[in-house]
Amino acid sequence: MAVSPIEERYKTGMNSVFDDSNVLRKWLDVEIALAKAHAKLGHIPKKAADDIEKAAGKVKASRVKEIEAEIHHDLMAMVKALTEQCPKESGAYVHLGATSYDIEDTATALIFRDAFSLIREHACQLRETVRALAKKHRKTVCIGRTHGQHAVPTTYGLKFALYSAELDRHLERIKDSEKRLYVGKMTGAVGTMATFGEDAFELQDLVMKELRLAPAPVTNQIIQRDRHAEALFVLSLIACTLEKIAKEIRNLQRTEIGEVAEPFGKKQVGSSTMPQKRNPHKSERICGLARVVRADLQVALENIALEHERDLTNSASERVIFSQSFILTDYMLLQMAGILGGLDFFPRNIEKNLNLTNGLVMAERVMIALTEAGMGRQEAHALVREASIRSFSTGEHLFDVLKKEGRTSKLIPEKKLSDLFKVESYIGKAPEIADRAIKGA
């Protein structure tokens, strides 16, 4: 039975990337690359490198665990298990010159590469869903809200275009971070390369070329943790965007707003006691999990400042935060794609909310029209502000208040004033902005 919800409830394909068996496989890949590099440089027989590569395929995770239980060192347990599978003369060359974190940190880069490949794939899929919504609703007029109050009209297309552009930036961040994240090391106990001899740089280059990684230009015993913190920072930014979208859905699904709602299955239950409830629980879940990903980032930041050439305080926490952050972010991306793919819209409520304030949301437009007709901007602002206060106090439509105001009727004919209150004609360039964002312009 699983203890952590990321093992079952929030499980995705990402779990296999961080599974113990895959971590072991990546460690072995680095050991193979190291042996090949030694062989190319003439440090060890080519047959020894071939034997090590063949033996790596025979190493069992169960045997590694058995050895670890005896020696209390997971990496060295792998080394011993690999050595066991080699002919004696070849096994003598396993892990030659390396320290544990030459293997572990280089393997972590391989794991990050696979993990971000999956994140990128699912972020692209979500972006396509968002772009489709932006295109479909490019002219779906709704009320814009600032400070929780009705502002001026906008469109749902513009809302989704905003998210599309944000996902574009996250994909750019992943791409940009590759040169800092996909790096390995083969530099020994404190980063001096002393165990690798005169051709240490060449050996490191050969190992990294085999693994398609870049060599870290300088390390101590470990690759510096600002790189790993950057990985979790990118994940945190993605999580925050998903939270932003989820929070918007939650607010728009409120009973008194009711403009959109996340999908609700025919047999789905919203509450154990209130049969009528249709709760945005998936969006709420995303908001909750985003907090965990952000919290993991704090741990990654604290791991940067290790003592001297390194201490072990980063190790235990990284066993938690790396897998947890990637798995939860991947889960949230998939969940959000499902939510948006089946998002329900309620046009009557959208229209109702547009007209809720008796025309007050068009006050800005009237002020601009008065200015264009010759009134000073500050005078026009004061006039419309006073009319808006009267409209709010009396419940009278702002149009009716303004048409009785002498200074307004003098500058704007009643027919034109009436046209100014057509919300669908005051969305500016929103459709075009959405189109440009969809194209990535």
Give the active site residues. 147, 271
244 is written with which tokens?
């932003």
Sequence-distant (6+) residues with CB within 8 A of 422 are none
What is the rounded CA–CA span in Å between residue 226 and residue 234? 12
Q: Is 265 left (phi over 0), alpha (psi -120 to 50) or beta?
A: beta
What is the rounded CA–CA span in Å between residue 258 and residue 348? 9
SS3 233: helix
Which ranges constitute the DSSP H helices of 223-308? 226-252, 281-302
Residues 167/9, Cβ–Cβ less than 8 Å:
no
Which ranges constitute the DSSP H helices of 310-346? 313-341
> Rounded to whole angstroms, what are the CA distances from 105 to 31, 189, 211, 319, 440?
12, 13, 13, 12, 36
Q: What is the CA radius of gyration of the chain?
A: 30
What is the rounded CA–CA span in Å between residue 115 and residue 12? 11
Go through the chain and tell me how many residues it has: 441
Cα-Cα-Cα-Cα dihedral of 197, 202, 203, 207, to 10°? 160
Q: Tokens 């208040």 sit at which residue?
A: 401
What is the rounded CA–CA span in Å between residue 367 and residue 152? 13
